[in-house]
Amino acid sequence: MLRHSAFFMFREDTTLDQGVEMLKGLAYMRFACPSVMALDFGLDEFGGSAQLREVKPWKRQPRWRSRRLGPAVNYDVALHLDFEDQAGLDAYNEDDVHHEVAVYNASICRGEITARVDWWYDGPPPIVRNEVKHSAMFVWADESDEASRSAALDAVRALEETPLVQQVYIGHNVGTLITDFDIVVDIRCADRAAVEELIAGEDYTQAMKQLGEVTQYEWTARMTHLMHGL
């Protein structure tokens, strides 16, 4: 299956009601866009960018001074769409319903930093309703080599052996937009408490540290959401 994953960040003045309206539009695409085989979406479980919006722009830590710290906050909305093949994704991109939903999304989100990865995976859609997905997108650092990148991804895959993790996917971008991120890490846990314990633990911390050394970590796009798979 071919999955299109996108993370969105709200604008400074976006309200929760507008965010809920956005979620309704995302859900509608599952039924109105014929080539969509499965769809998952959700709001960030840990507050998204709300904390960032409480800090004046001139008082925020700029990304270019955050290379080793990573982003200060998560993104707000996750969207995952599954297609049988590239033709299905192309049909979705041409669909009028998709365009209508995208126009509204652009009005309440910061489109210039939307994070996207198109990636292939084997098996049925990795959607388990009412479980929680913790996922992140990364951009490779130009100076990192293939051996270091592979070792970092192996460390992330090893998280699947921990009792807190149900499943780990790693997707490599096959999209053609110059704004696409390079990889997505997709981790499924039973509930929010499991995610909280995971990301506070040593195994996750070390895996992210290793991945941070081979990526432009300040551009990491993170999301944790309750799965509303359709």
pLDDT exceeds cutoff 70 at 13: yes
- pLDDT at residue 54, as a whole number: 72
Model confidence over 152-180: pLDDT tens digits?
A: 999 999 999 999 999 999 999 999 999 99
Interior/surface letters 123-158, b for 16+ CB within 10 angstroms, e for the rest? eebbbbeebbbbbbbbbbbeeeeeebbeebbebbee
Please state, rounded to an integer, the average pLDDT across all residues of the chain.
Answer: 93
Hey, what are 214's tokens? 């081979």
Model confidence over 94-143: pLDDT tens digits?
A: 999 999 999 999 999 999 999 999 999 998 999 999 999 999 999 999 99
d(CA 105, CA 10): 9
Q: How many domains does the chain contain in total?
A: 1
pLDDT exceeds cutoff 80 at 67: no
d(CA 222, CA 220): 6
d(CA 209, CA 221): 15
- pLDDT at residue 163, as a whole number: 96
d(CA 13, CA 92): 29
CATH of the domain at 36: 3.30.70.100
pTM listed for this prediction: 0.92
Domain ranges, residue 101: 2-226
What is the CA angle 5-164-27, rounded to 5?
A: 30
pLDDT mean over 79-99: 97
Sign of the CA dihedral with 166 first, then 168, 174, and 175 last: positive
Model confidence over 47-60: pLDDT tens digits?
A: 998 877 776 766 66
